[in-house]
Structure 1
Amino acid sequence: MTFLEELLEDFQKMLEFRAAVGYATVTFKSCVTPFIRFCGVNHPEEKAITQQMVDDWLAYYAYKTAQTQASFMSCLRQYTRFINSLGKEAFIPGSDYTVKRSQYLPYVFTDAELGQFFDGVDSLPTRNRKFQRAVILPVLFRMMYCCGMRPSEPLHLRCEDINLMKGDIYIRQTKKNKERHIIVSSDLLELCRRYDKLAGTREWFFQRTDGIPYDTGWMTKHFHLCWDKSGLVKHGNPRPYDLRHAFASHNIMRWIDEGRDVMSILPYLSTYLGHSEFRDTLYYVHILPERLRKSAGIDWSQFDTIFRDDEKNA
């Protein structure tokens, strides 16, 4: 039995126990399952949940509020206590457990790596039960990259949110309660139309056979599966969110190559990405290769002002 299988088996036992004594299980499924899959993918050789796994998860997963993180920690404590009750080891975080979040350095795809990754996505087998993922993933990951979406955004799309005639995608309230519309390219629109015909009548654009949308844990698992299948070597910790980073950084690099005034265009990119603050968009310039950061199209004085203010408020 793999580490992931053992964690899932113990988790299922806990859910069955809670249901038997009349306690709810829904919150546990949504809070803990993505963490379990993260541990299984990133620590497959381990035998027990460790403090390092918890720290890695908190640094990896950006909870929207302190309340949602506290909810996760509460569920995790009960899960790891249950594992201990089975006579197994597991790190139990305290009620006030926190980890200082370090700045995550995105994995910036080269054009060649991006092409190789999508070759891996497109080569998934289409037989038997795996047919559905082979149809969904090429559309899902291309939508994330071509539209710069956050991982949860395409998974929460209802069919009514996508106008397949005009190529308009409506992103409902997500991070900081912002809504926005995205206009997609003709190539992606045609891909979405073909997928829509195959998927048939449903509520969610990317929907499981039981009628509910896929979750980010499922997405992350299959991102790494496609990465491994593509033959790419892992440097750092690539993740689905890096497709959004790739969209932003590749657009900025293209503007630089075209000799355009990057600083005058960035506000439009900021709106497209759904950023609430301009400094969030400027971050993508900050992580560009050095030769591009020295471009005449980038006004670094704006960075000095913004990040100096951040340091004063820190």
Structure 2
Amino acid sequence: MKLADAISLYMQVIHANGCKGDSIHGVLSLFAKYVSRDRELTSISPSEVRAFLDGNRPLSHYWHRKHSALMGFFRFALARSLVPAIPLPSRTPRCYQDYQPYVYSEDDVDRLIAALDGARATPIEARTLRVLVLLLYGTGLRLGEALHLCLADVDLSQQLLTVRDTKFYKTRWVPIGTHLVQILHEYIVAVHTSLSVERRDDTPLFTRRDGGRPTASGVRRAFARLRSKAGVRRNDGARYQPRLHDMRATFAVHRLIIWYQQGADVQRLLPLLSTYLGHASIAATQIYLPMSPELLVEASIRLAHYVALEKQS
């Protein structure tokens, strides 16, 4: 079987299992381009696979992402007797570049918003970037989820967003606060001025200057420039500077801190946070919960409280 046909078959199985698999498909497409889409699976050698994995850049987590995608694909092919063996290296290099999510402070967000004043013109208007940043900060949505919102998905009267066909082909409702409702209302009035005119359900909430829907890569570039202008950077020696995706970790950590401060049963509420974020499991949510100083303090206070109760009993 040719490589392109095998990839198509594999992705059908991925989709049938309820996963979009965009990152997997991206890696497999690059691999097909590297060795040729028309290659017979059995003709692909381990040395070619290793060369694709190594690339021409320093070792990073992307090596392991490529390895994971190819391993799943070739296991699928081996189980169906499409290849005689898996042409991947048996040992994988250890990567020491573990990325720790950055938790934005309220001051960080204030500086980001303030830096939008006088920002140079880009395809993404300052007001659009402002609302996007505040929406991600206030809801923990994935960037792709926010960019795919349509006007029909925003119910300001019910303070509810409908997030459709997310990472695992699921649709969920995301409640939003009064302040965010006001921000979205003002943005819709300013950008979609003809509110009295009937709108199509698929009219994008967020638009570029040319009327099109912003791309994730374009928003990330605009945010990187904004972060640099605002002087928001990490000083913990990490290789990577704060990303827009870290707003998701920020939302999760801040929610935990609030629950700790309220004396809530965090273990019982954690599945609710996982559902709100659109995760398939609690384990996926834990990735976004680094031990920030504030979270560590609150956890320590809770532990001290339980220890005191134990001593009294």
Q: Is the 8 A contact 1:223 1:240 kept in 2?
A: yes
SS in 2 for 1:246: helix
- Pair 1:188 & 2:152 matched: no
Unaligned runs of 5+ in 2: 1-20, 37-49, 55-61, 66-94, 305-313
**Paired residues for 1:97-246 under 5 Å:** 99-101=63-65, 103-121=98-116, 123-125=117-119, 133-200=125-192, 203-235=203-235, 236=238, 237=240, 238-246=242-250
Q: Give the drift of 1:250.
A: 0.9
Identity value in percent: 26
Length-normalised TM-score, structure 2: 0.62
* Of 245-254 and 160-169, the range deviating more from structure 2: 160-169
- For 1:99, the aligned partner's letter is W
Letter in 2 for 1:198: A
Which has more radius of gyration?
Answer: 2
**Offset of 1:134 from its aligned partner?**
1.4
CA contact (8 A) 1:182 1:272 kept: yes
What code does the residue aligned with 1:71 have?
S
Distance 1:156 1:286 in 2: 28
Distance verdict in 2 for CA 1:294–1:73, change over 3 Å: farther
Tell me the TM-score normalised to structure 1 length: 0.61
Equivalent residue letter for 1:154: A
Root mean square deviation, CA, Å:
3.0
The amino acid that maps onto 1:117 is L
1:38 aligned partner: none
Change in Cα spacing, 1:228 to 1:265, as seen in structure 2 (3 Å) is: same
Of 256, 270, 275 in structure 1, the residue corresponding to residue 260 of structure 2 is: 256
Q: CA deviation at 1:113?
A: 2.3
Distance change (3 Å), C-alpha of 1:76 and 1:230: farther
User: In the TM superposition, what is the alpha-carbon distance from 1:71 to its structure 2 partner?
Assistant: 2.0
Is the 8 Å Cα contact of residues 256 and 297 (structure 1) preserved in structure 2?
no
Give, in whole Å, the separation in 2 of the partners of 1:214 and 1:296.
43
Aligned ranges 1:8-87 → 2 under 5 Å: 64-72=22-30, 74=32
- In the other structure, the counterpart of 1:311 is none
| CA deviation map 1:214-270 (0-9, x unaligned) | 111111111111111212234432111001111111111122223222112111111
Give the aligned residue type for 1:161. D
State the 1:100 CA deviation. Answer: 1.8
Contact kept in structure 2, 1:260 and 1:297, CA below 8 Å = no
CA contact (8 A) 1:139 1:192 kept: yes
- Where structure 1 has 5 or more consecutive residues not aligned to the other structure, the ranges are 1-62, 79-92, 299-314
- Residue 179 of structure 1 and its aligned partner are, at CA, apart by 1.5
Q: d(CA) in 1 for partners of 2:27 and 2:129?
A: 28
What is the number of equivalent residue pairs in this alignment? 220
> Is the aligned partner of 1:265 residue 2:269?
yes
CA deviation vs aligned residue, 1:156-178 (integer Å, no higher than 9, x gap): 11111111222211001111212
Cα offset for 1:72?
Answer: 4.4
SS in 1 for 2:165: coil
Shift of 1:136: 0.5
